[in-house]
């Protein structure tokens, strides 16, 4: 798949959609507000919904009045209250996305933030816009702190795993070296080796219980006891 071509087509289609919306908004404004015609009359004559005519005409008016506001943002603003738009805009900024995308896909979050921001604004004599930004800033900092803590835990886990693997690798090499020892043992030596092997097996079981079975036993005490037997 030629993703460069796919991406270029996607950008072109998005631009065409925005241009079409802008042209329609301007057309409806010019033939209602600009011409002194009611929205209901335009809707009746053009067989379209009255609310849509009002929304697009209002959006064009906003795009004229608010410097830098795109027609896409203006359409969102025209479809909702000023306070809700302020919250949508704040959420969009935090998520680094468009207000249209937030309106379509993050309604629950917008409603939650707006409710909390409205309560705070009433209590503090501030605006919903300011409180929404403050709340989202707190949430963003908390999320960043949680991410940092999680990354720190992962780093500590990685270091611990590396240390554990190093110890186990040494044990593997030591046991491999033990197997290769060329010696004829006496019966007494075999008995001593058997005891040593039992201790090694017990140690292996402890390691497995500690790191695989996730047991909460007192491993320090058990290790000390096993080591004392081999002393």
Provide the residue count of the chain: 231
Residue 17: per-residue pLDDT: 63
Question: Which residues lie closer than 8 Å to 117 by C-beta, 6 or more apart?
Answer: 87, 128, 131, 132, 134, 135
d(CA 77, CA 128): 15
pLDDT tens profile 26-68: 888 888 888 888 888 888 888 888 888 888 899 999 888 888 8
Provide mean pLDDT across the span 132-142.
80
pTM: 0.52
Provide mean pLDDT across the span 78-86.
86
Q: Which residue has the higher pLDDT, 79 or 223?
A: 79
**Confidence at 192, pLDDT banded by 50, 70, 90:** confident
Helices (H), ranges, the chain: 3-30, 39-46, 50-65, 71-78, 82-95, 99-105, 107-124, 128-179, 187-211, 219-230
Cα distances (angstroms) measured from residue 22 to each of 44, 59, 75, 161: 22, 9, 9, 58
What mean pLDDT value characterizes the chain?
A: 83
Question: Which residues lie closer than 8 Å to 122 by C-beta, 6 or more apart?
Answer: none
Residue 16: per-residue pLDDT: 67
Dihedral of the alpha carbons of 219, 151, 91, 125, in degrees to the nearest 10: 70
Residue 12: per-residue pLDDT: 65
């Amino acid at each position: 798949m030629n993703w460069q071509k796919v991406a270029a087509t996607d950008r072109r289609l998005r631009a065409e959609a925005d241009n079409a919306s802008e042209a329609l908004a301007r057309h409806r404004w010019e033939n209602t507000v600009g011409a002194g015609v009611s929205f209901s009359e335009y809707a009746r004559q053009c067989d379209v919904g009255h609310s849509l005519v009002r929304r697009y005409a209002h959006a064009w008016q906003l795009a004229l009045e608010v410097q830098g506001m795109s027609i896409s943002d203006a359409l969102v603003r025209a479809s909702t209250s000023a306070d809700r738009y302020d919250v949508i805009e704040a959420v969009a900024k935090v998520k680094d996305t468009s207000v249209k995308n937030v309106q379509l896909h993050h309604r629950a979050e917008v409603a939650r933030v707006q409710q909390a921001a409205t309560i705070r604004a009433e209590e503090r004599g501030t605006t919903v816009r300011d409180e929404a930004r403050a709340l989202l800033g707190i949430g963003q900092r908390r999320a960043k702190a949680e991410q940092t803590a999680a990354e720190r835990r992962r780093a500590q886990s990685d270091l611990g795993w590396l240390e554990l693997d190093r110890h186990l690798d040494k044990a593997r090499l030591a046991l491999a070296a033990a197997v290769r020892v060329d010696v004829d043992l006496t019966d007494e030596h075999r008995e001593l080796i058997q005891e040593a092997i039992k201790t090694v097996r017990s140690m292996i079981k402890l390691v497995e219980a500690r790191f695989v079975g996730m047991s909460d036993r007192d491993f320090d005490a058990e290790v000390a006891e096993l080591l004392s037997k081999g002393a």
